[in-house]
Amino acid sequence: MLPKIVFLDRATLSVPLRPVNLPHIWVDYPLTAVDEVAGRIADASVVVTNKVVIDEKLLSRAPQLKLIAVAATGYNIIDIAACQARGVRVCNIRDYAQTGVIEHTLMLILALRRQLLAYRAAVQTGAWQRSSQFYLAGPPLHDLAGSTLAIFGRGALGAGMAEAAQALGMQTLYADRKGASSVRPGYVAFDEALARADILSLHCPLNAETRGLIGAAELARMKPSALLINTARGGIVDEAALLAALQSGQIAGAGVDVLSEEPPRQGNPLLNADLPNLIVTPHVAWASVETVQKLAAQLIDNVEAFLQGQPRNVVV
């Protein structure tokens, strides 16, 4: 019997997928609602999912399932323990988004440090046109060179971010785990990193250790002139606390590409704010054509490797 490969949310990838170069049956769906998942994976050997949740209950209704290929780096949508108990392998996408995510992170940092939104609004409202001199004096601008970037997460993205920042003249440091009893070589204690950072950039997965990593207490330890940048996962930051910190001047600004619920159908505190020091983008740091093409190629490579008996990028 040919292995059946089911892609539950094909519409999440905006580029063509090359065919799997092995005998198989391929079925894909643009999107899959919660109540449709069980029926669609019931006879699947391989399930491909970007954001469709696969839990223990669904696994119990897919007796032929051998592999879940996550079309993303984060795999918090998968019940890993249940997969391990049932002998279902899980693989993910790795080290594909350094260029896209790092460029997006730098874009957010530059836009905030150079007050892009405030000055664009000033031009649109005619403030520059009414100025008494050749330039418009307004919110203070800051160079990146000489500033300190604290990075949480030292994988490919965190390391790439450090390299890019150093090329722009920034000093970089890696924050150690929150609450760590000792500081690892090459790291700075978490609280010290918060206090020293001109910019704190998050590049870590969302898990039990990092959920709620940045809340009111952590924001209070940061400089009033500091920025928080999150292109990782929304649940890492307490969004209500972040909004309060921005409104009170506890920190100078924030750029986020991710929210705790996506899409934010129930609303979100950060979406209700009209602040010149807050930029929210709709989880698109990874979504450049070139970056998605790398993801798509690796996804098919992962599936082929498993079908050939040589699993790669395995989580469990």
Judgement on whether residues 116 and 243 belong to the same structural domain of the protein? yes
Judgement on whether residues 107 and 85 belong to the same structural domain of the protein? no
- Asked if 90 contacts 83 with a C-beta cutoff of 8 angstroms, the reply is yes
Q: Is 113 helix (H, G, I), strand (E, B) or coil?
A: helix
The CATH number for 102's domain is: 3.40.50.720
Residue 313 maps to a domain? no
Mean pLDDT for 32-52 is 98
What pLDDT score was predicted for residue 1? Answer: 87
Judgement on whether residues 41 and 103 belong to the same structural domain of the protein? no
SS3 content of the chain, % helix, strand, coil (to 5): 35, 15, 50
Residue 316 maps to a domain? no
Mean pLDDT for 30-58 is 98
pLDDT tens, position by position, 198-215: 999 999 999 999 999 999
Instruction: Reply yes or no on whether the pLDDT at 10 is more than 90.
Output: yes
Judgement on whether residues 103 and 124 belong to the same structural domain of the protein? yes
Judgement on whether residues 200 and 240 belong to the same structural domain of the protein? yes
- Residues serving a catalytic function are 233, 262, 283
pLDDT confidence bin for 219, thresholds 50/70/90: very high
Judgement on whether residues 107 and 23 belong to the same structural domain of the protein? no
Number of domains composing the chain: 2
Judgement on whether residues 170 and 72 belong to the same structural domain of the protein? no
Residue 199, strand partner residues: 149, 227
Global pTM reads 0.92
Q: Is the dihedral of CA 8, 11, 12, 15 positive or negative?
A: positive
Buried b (16+ CB within 10 A) or exposed e, 268-296: bbbeeeeebbbbbeebebbbbeebbebbb
Q: What is the dihedral of CA 294, 40, 20, 305, to 10 degrees?
A: 80
What is the span of the domain harbouring residue 203?
98-280
Residue 112 maps to a domain? yes
How far apart are the two ends of the chain, measured CA to CA in Å? Answer: 25
